[in-house]
Structure 1
Amino acid sequence: MINEPRAGRPRASSRETLAEAACELFLEQGYGSTSVADITQRAGVSRSSFFNYFASKSDVLWSGLDARIEQALTAISNLGSDAGGAELRAILVRVMTDFAPDPLALALRNATVMGLEEELVRDTGLRQARLAAGIAEAACRADIGAIRADILGAAYAAALMSSLRVWAERGAGSGSLEALLNEAMSDVHELPWRI
C-alpha cells in the first residue's frame, strides 16, 4: 500500500506560517490587541497547532534566540576552570552566527508600531539576566571573585543583547551581527577575564 501524503500544511512550514501571521497582525493592530486566536485564524491552523510550536504569544518572537541562548548556556556550563575570555567570546559569537532576520528582529525594529516597547525591555532583561548568571558562574569556576564575575557576566550579556538590538534597528540586512558583537565584546575587553 502506498502512503498518501497527509492533508494540511507541512509540519516544517506551520511554525513559519504562524510567525509570519503573528508579525503581520502585530504590525497591523499591535501586540496587545492580537490574540492567539487571531494568529491561528490568519495562519489557517488550529489553536492546538499554535501551542505545538509556541508556549505563548511572546514565544513567537523569542523562540529562535531562546534556543541559541540555551545552547550557549550549556556550552558555558561546560567550560573548565582553566577557561578564559577567548573561549567565552567564541561561544557568544556562535549565538549570533548566521542569525537571520526573524520575528524578534522585526519586533526590535518596529517596537513602537507593534506596541512592544515595555514587553521587549522586560523580556530582553530576563534573557540578559539568565545569560549573565551563566557567564558569572563560569567566571567563578575559573577562580574569579564573585563581584568581578557578576560584572563580567552582566557586561558580556549586555554586549550580546545590545548588538542584536542595534543590528535589528539598523535593518537586519545592513551589516554583520557578528561584527557588531565582536566590536561590543572588544569594549568589554577593558574588563579582562583574568587580572
Structure 2
Amino acid sequence: IFLCTAFAMQTSLLQEELLSPPPTEVAVNDSALSEDRGSLVVTLSEPQAQWLEAFWFGTVVRKHPHCRIFLEGRASLCVEGALAGESLDEFQERWRRLVMGAVKKVDVEDLGNMDADALREAIPEDGLLKLSEHEREASVKVVFGENQHLFLAGAKGKLERKCFGIRNLLSHYHWRLSGRDVAFEEMVAQR
C-alpha cells in the first residue's frame, strides 16, 4: 500500500522549466494510506532523478538503513519504510523535506538535442569509462534523455568549473557522429 506524493512538473523540457524548482504542493491519496508502513513517490525531472540516484541514494541508505529508495522508471523516486511509531504525516513530511533539500542543490543544464540515443551508442566502451570517471570526479551526471536531449546535472559551481573534460568528450563524439570530425592523420596527410 502506498502513500503517493507527486510534485507536479510540466512535461515540457524547456531549459527554463527544468531549472525552476518543483512546486512544493503535496497530493496525498487517502485510499492508499497504510498504518504500519509508509511509502512515497516523488516525480522529478529526469536529470534530477538520475543525479540523485548516482550521488545521493548511497548516502541516504547509509543514514536510513531501514528505508528502501529507488527509481521507478526514469524520473519517479520511490521511498519505502517508515520508522516504527512514525505517523504517515511525519514520514511524508520528513522525506518531502529530504528530497526537496537534495533537489535544490541540483542544477540542470540542457545541452540541446544531440540525438542522445545514437550518441550513447556511438561512444565506445573506453569512452564511456572515461565519461563515468569524469562524472565521479566532478559529481556531475550526464543524462541521455528520452527526448534525445543531453543534460548535465549537478551543483551549479561544478557545472560551471568542473565539466570541461565531460563537455570536451561529449562534443568529440557528437562531432564524430555527425560526420564533422576530421581524423588527425587526415589533417597531417593534407599538409
Decide which structure has greater strand share. Answer: 2
Decide which structure has greater helix share. Answer: 1
Structure number with greater CO (CA < 8 Å, separation at least 6) is 1
